[in-house]
Amino acid sequence: MAQHEEPYGKTRRGSLAGRLTLLAALVAAGIGLNPAAAHADTWRTATAQAWGQTQATASAAAQSNARAALTSLASQLGEVCTNVTSSATLVYVVPSGGGYQYSGTATGLCAPPPPPPSYTVSRTATARGEGSTSGAAQQNGEAAARSAILAAGGDCTNYQTTAVTYVYRTPPGDWYIYDVTVSALCVQ
Protein backbone atom coordinates (compact mmCIF):
# COMPACT_ATOMS: atom_id res chain seq x y z
CA MET A 1 0.00 0.00 0.00
CA ALA A 2 1.43 3.34 -0.99
CA GLN A 3 1.84 6.02 1.61
CA HIS A 4 0.98 9.57 0.75
CA GLU A 5 3.11 12.33 2.15
CA GLU A 6 1.37 14.92 4.27
CA PRO A 7 2.75 18.29 5.35
CA TYR A 8 5.64 18.09 7.82
CA GLY A 9 6.55 14.55 6.75
CA LYS A 10 3.57 12.73 8.35
CA THR A 11 1.86 9.90 6.57
CA ARG A 12 -1.84 9.15 6.46
CA ARG A 13 -1.19 5.84 8.16
CA GLY A 14 0.41 7.71 11.08
CA SER A 15 -2.57 10.07 11.28
CA LEU A 16 -4.94 7.11 11.32
CA ALA A 17 -2.95 5.47 14.13
CA GLY A 18 -3.17 8.68 16.15
CA ARG A 19 -6.92 8.88 15.59
CA LEU A 20 -7.39 5.26 16.63
CA THR A 21 -5.36 5.86 19.78
CA LEU A 22 -7.52 8.89 20.62
CA LEU A 23 -10.69 6.88 19.97
CA ALA A 24 -9.47 4.05 22.22
CA ALA A 25 -8.69 6.55 25.00
CA LEU A 26 -12.17 8.09 24.72
CA VAL A 27 -13.84 4.67 24.83
CA ALA A 28 -11.80 3.71 27.90
CA ALA A 29 -12.77 6.96 29.61
CA GLY A 30 -16.44 6.31 28.78
CA ILE A 31 -16.26 2.85 30.32
CA GLY A 32 -14.80 4.35 33.48
CA LEU A 33 -17.76 6.75 33.73
CA ASN A 34 -20.51 4.18 33.34
CA PRO A 35 -23.37 4.17 35.90
CA ALA A 36 -22.05 1.07 37.68
CA ALA A 37 -18.78 2.84 38.44
CA ALA A 38 -20.70 5.87 39.70
CA HIS A 39 -22.34 3.74 42.40
CA ALA A 40 -19.17 2.32 43.91
CA ASP A 41 -18.41 2.90 47.59
CA THR A 42 -16.17 5.92 48.09
CA TRP A 43 -14.19 7.12 51.09
CA ARG A 44 -15.14 10.74 51.78
CA THR A 45 -13.67 13.23 54.25
CA ALA A 46 -15.03 16.47 55.69
CA THR A 47 -13.48 18.96 58.08
CA ALA A 48 -14.86 21.58 60.45
CA GLN A 49 -13.65 23.80 63.28
CA ALA A 50 -14.95 24.57 66.74
CA TRP A 51 -14.09 26.64 69.79
CA GLY A 52 -14.53 25.58 73.40
CA GLN A 53 -13.62 26.68 76.91
CA THR A 54 -11.88 23.37 77.54
CA GLN A 55 -9.86 21.16 75.25
CA ALA A 56 -12.36 18.31 75.67
CA THR A 57 -15.39 20.40 74.68
CA ALA A 58 -13.59 22.04 71.75
CA SER A 59 -12.33 18.68 70.46
CA ALA A 60 -15.77 17.05 70.80
CA ALA A 61 -17.47 19.99 69.08
CA ALA A 62 -14.98 19.97 66.19
CA GLN A 63 -15.49 16.23 65.66
CA SER A 64 -19.27 16.63 65.85
CA ASN A 65 -19.17 19.47 63.32
CA ALA A 66 -16.98 17.38 60.99
CA ARG A 67 -19.41 14.45 61.21
CA ALA A 68 -22.29 16.81 60.42
CA ALA A 69 -20.35 18.19 57.44
CA LEU A 70 -19.71 14.64 56.16
CA THR A 71 -23.39 13.77 56.53
CA SER A 72 -24.35 16.94 54.65
CA LEU A 73 -21.87 16.21 51.85
CA ALA A 74 -23.12 12.65 51.48
CA SER A 75 -26.73 13.85 51.47
CA GLN A 76 -26.00 16.32 48.65
CA LEU A 77 -24.53 13.43 46.65
CA GLY A 78 -27.46 11.12 47.42
CA GLU A 79 -25.32 8.89 49.62
CA VAL A 80 -25.13 7.62 53.17
CA CYS A 81 -21.88 6.96 55.04
CA THR A 82 -20.88 4.05 57.26
CA ASN A 83 -17.70 3.26 59.19
CA VAL A 84 -17.36 6.94 60.09
CA THR A 85 -14.36 7.88 62.21
CA SER A 86 -13.38 11.31 63.46
CA SER A 87 -10.43 13.03 65.06
CA ALA A 88 -9.49 16.53 66.15
CA THR A 89 -6.29 18.56 66.12
CA LEU A 90 -5.53 21.55 68.30
CA VAL A 91 -5.26 24.68 66.14
CA TYR A 92 -5.08 27.59 68.57
CA VAL A 93 -4.93 28.31 72.30
CA VAL A 94 -6.17 31.66 73.54
CA PRO A 95 -3.13 33.24 75.28
CA SER A 96 -5.07 33.90 78.49
CA GLY A 97 -6.17 30.25 78.56
CA GLY A 98 -9.78 31.29 77.90
CA GLY A 99 -10.45 28.88 75.07
CA TYR A 100 -9.25 26.40 72.50
CA GLN A 101 -9.80 25.99 68.78
CA TYR A 102 -9.79 22.52 67.23
CA SER A 103 -10.03 21.32 63.65
CA GLY A 104 -12.10 18.16 63.30
CA THR A 105 -11.92 15.60 60.51
CA ALA A 106 -14.52 12.92 59.77
CA THR A 107 -14.00 10.12 57.25
CA GLY A 108 -16.53 7.53 56.14
CA LEU A 109 -17.31 4.97 53.46
CA CYS A 110 -20.13 6.55 51.44
CA ALA A 111 -22.44 5.04 48.82
CA PRO A 112 -26.00 5.38 47.56
CA PRO A 113 -28.45 3.87 50.04
CA PRO A 114 -29.72 0.38 49.27
CA PRO A 115 -33.17 0.12 47.72
CA PRO A 116 -35.99 -0.28 50.20
CA PRO A 117 -37.09 -3.84 50.87
CA SER A 118 -39.84 -5.17 48.65
CA TYR A 119 -42.87 -7.02 49.92
CA THR A 120 -46.07 -8.43 48.47
CA VAL A 121 -49.44 -6.94 49.36
CA SER A 122 -52.94 -7.87 48.33
CA ARG A 123 -54.88 -5.04 46.70
CA THR A 124 -58.58 -4.85 46.00
CA ALA A 125 -60.56 -2.25 44.07
CA THR A 126 -64.21 -1.91 43.15
CA ALA A 127 -65.30 0.09 40.12
CA ARG A 128 -68.55 0.74 38.32
CA GLY A 129 -68.90 -0.50 34.76
CA GLU A 130 -71.54 0.44 32.24
CA GLY A 131 -72.35 -0.97 28.83
CA SER A 132 -74.98 -1.85 26.26
CA THR A 133 -74.81 -5.52 27.31
CA SER A 134 -74.41 -7.18 30.66
CA GLY A 135 -71.03 -8.62 29.60
CA ALA A 136 -69.73 -5.27 28.34
CA ALA A 137 -70.72 -3.53 31.58
CA GLN A 138 -68.91 -6.20 33.63
CA GLN A 139 -65.79 -5.98 31.44
CA ASN A 140 -65.74 -2.18 31.73
CA GLY A 141 -66.06 -2.42 35.51
CA GLU A 142 -63.25 -4.98 35.65
CA ALA A 143 -60.97 -2.78 33.50
CA ALA A 144 -61.67 0.25 35.70
CA ALA A 145 -60.93 -1.75 38.88
CA ARG A 146 -57.64 -3.02 37.40
CA SER A 147 -56.70 0.56 36.53
CA ALA A 148 -57.38 1.64 40.11
CA ILE A 149 -55.10 -1.13 41.41
CA LEU A 150 -52.33 -0.14 38.98
CA ALA A 151 -52.70 3.55 39.91
CA ALA A 152 -51.76 2.66 43.50
CA GLY A 153 -48.31 1.64 42.21
CA GLY A 154 -46.25 -1.51 42.30
CA ASP A 155 -45.92 -4.51 40.04
CA CYS A 156 -49.17 -6.50 40.18
CA THR A 157 -50.06 -10.05 39.09
CA ASN A 158 -52.75 -12.68 39.71
CA TYR A 159 -55.72 -10.43 38.94
CA GLN A 160 -59.00 -12.07 39.91
CA THR A 161 -62.55 -10.81 39.69
CA THR A 162 -63.89 -11.51 43.17
CA ALA A 163 -67.36 -9.93 43.00
CA VAL A 164 -69.83 -8.71 40.39
CA THR A 165 -72.83 -6.82 41.76
CA TYR A 166 -75.78 -5.90 39.58
CA VAL A 167 -76.70 -2.23 40.08
CA TYR A 168 -79.19 -1.18 37.40
CA ARG A 169 -80.64 -1.89 33.96
CA THR A 170 -82.61 0.67 32.00
CA PRO A 171 -86.26 -0.35 31.47
CA PRO A 172 -85.93 -1.12 27.78
CA GLY A 173 -82.88 -3.27 28.64
CA ASP A 174 -80.38 -1.44 26.46
CA TRP A 175 -77.97 -0.24 29.21
CA TYR A 176 -76.47 -2.13 32.17
CA ILE A 177 -74.57 -1.02 35.26
CA TYR A 178 -72.48 -3.32 37.49
CA ASP A 179 -70.04 -2.84 40.38
CA VAL A 180 -67.05 -5.13 39.84
CA THR A 181 -64.43 -5.99 42.48
CA VAL A 182 -60.96 -7.12 41.40
CA SER A 183 -58.08 -8.36 43.59
CA ALA A 184 -54.37 -8.70 42.76
CA LEU A 185 -51.02 -9.36 44.42
CA CYS A 186 -48.65 -6.41 44.14
CA VAL A 187 -44.95 -6.12 44.93
CA GLN A 188 -44.00 -2.85 46.62
Taking only the tens place, the pLDDT of each residue in 85-139 is: 999 999 999 998 889 999 999 999 999 998 888 889 999 999 999 999 999 999 9
pLDDT score recorded for residue 3: 55
pLDDT score recorded for residue 118: 84
pLDDT score recorded for residue 5: 56
Query: What is the residue-wise DSSP string for the chain?
Result: -PPPB-GGG-BHHHHHHHHHHHHHHHHHHHHHTSHHHHTS-EEEEEEEEEEESSHHHHHHHHHHHHHHHHHHHHHHTT-EEEEEEEEEEEEEE-TTSS-EEEEEEEEEEEEPPPPPPP-EEEEEEEEEEEESSHHHHHHHHHHHHHHHHHHT-SEEEEEEEEEEEEEEE-TTS--EEEEEEEEEEEE-
pLDDT score recorded for residue 15: 61
pLDDT score recorded for residue 39: 56
pLDDT score recorded for residue 4: 52
Residues of the chain with pLDDT under 50: 1, 27-38
pLDDT score recorded for residue 126: 96
pLDDT score recorded for residue 152: 86
Listed by start position, the domains of the chain span: 41-111, 120-187
